[in-house]
Amino acid sequence: MSQPALAAVTGAEGFIGSHLTEALVHAGFKVRAMAQYNSFSSYGWLETLDQEVLNHVEVVLGDVRDPGSVNGLVRGADAVYHLAALIAIPYSYQAPHSYVDTNVTGTLNVLEAVRGQGIARLVHTSTSETYGTAQTVPITEDHPINTQSPYAASKAGGDRLADSYHASFDTPVVTLRPFNTFGPRQSMRAVIPTVIGQVAAGERTITLGDLRPTRDFLYVKDTAQAFLAAGTTAAEKVVGRTFNAGTGGEISVGELTKLVGKLMDVDLEVREDEQRIRPANSEVMRLVADATRLREATGWAPAHDLEAGLLDTIAFFRDPANLARYKTGIYNI
């Protein structure tokens, strides 16, 4: 009896990483999941997965900033999914060096390990923030890169390294560029859990930043399936290419907040908090995806609409055990 394929995942303890770990196991993979080393021996969101899933997961503590950690993680893997990153845009204004260390140098370490060990597939994670405010709509992969925050710049740096390793060494890299993923387990640093978490905690006056930007919100289970598609589709269709993952729809933060209020059956008042507003030239005002390339190459398409994903997220935050993991009363930078 043949052994299941082994997938190695960086950032597995996080929001998208934990959902991807589940999806990989359900797809028949054994998963080696890296959680960032910490003195509490915490495995993050991986600790909440069903035991039937965890039976197929080997959790290792490490750090993508350390080449030895990364080499140990990918050894013997059939595919590597690189999701480890610092992601909070406001904190990138305060600690840009940390973003370069993790998002650029960490990506370099993954590329070197994959190259050195001859791994058959690397799926590298980008972000729609690298496009900046949409110059053409919907945004295709040919849209100019316009980084409007240190976070976006660090992610673009990792993307360029991935491109260069494919061009220089024929490293089998696929870059996936998800638009605004949301769903259960997401950090309060994102707008949807910020709104839902505050309401679930009993607030009716919601504190937010700018209500005007529009986003293309992609439910996390659909994002996980996009990663699977990028990692398992025939190499000639995907390797060396960049793919958007999004719905093609958009909604403003203000309209999203009204929708959440409707779905949670509450009347909400929104209060603007200056510390939550990005510098004027750093705010990305509009993001909406054209995911035609990914659909044509892999057959992937979102299976959930915005309301279905929001209802699932609302149910998650209404569970007291889940809500207790969050600090809803502070600005989570």
Q: Which residue ranges make up each domain of the chain?
A: 6-186+218-248+288-303
Contact in structure between 6 and 27 (CB atoms under 8 Å) = no
Give yes or no for residue 103 having a pLDDT over 60. Answer: yes
Residue 276 is predicted with a pLDDT of 65
* Stretch 120-143: mean pLDDT: 97
CA distance 46 to 153: 29
pLDDT, one tens digit per residue, over 195-239 is: 999 999 999 988 787 888 999 999 999 999 999 999 999 999 999
Residue-wise pLDDT tens digits, 263-300: 999 998 888 766 666 676 778 889 999 999 999 999 99
pLDDT higher at 1 or 277: 277
- Global pTM reads 0.96
Q: If you average pLDDT over residues 128-132, what whole number do you get?
A: 97
What is the pLDDT, as a whole number, of residue 284? 83
Of 112, 125, 128, residue with least CA distance to 73: 112
Say whether pLDDT at 249 is over 70.
yes
Homologous superfamily of 6-186+218-248+288-303 in CATH? NAD(P)-binding Rossmann-like Domain (3.40.50.720)
pLDDT at residue 4, as a whole number: 85
**Residue 2: which pLDDT band, with cuts at 50, 70 and 90?**
low
pLDDT of 278: 64
pLDDT at 1 over 50: no
Nearest C-alpha neighbor of 177 from the set 83, 73, 79:
83
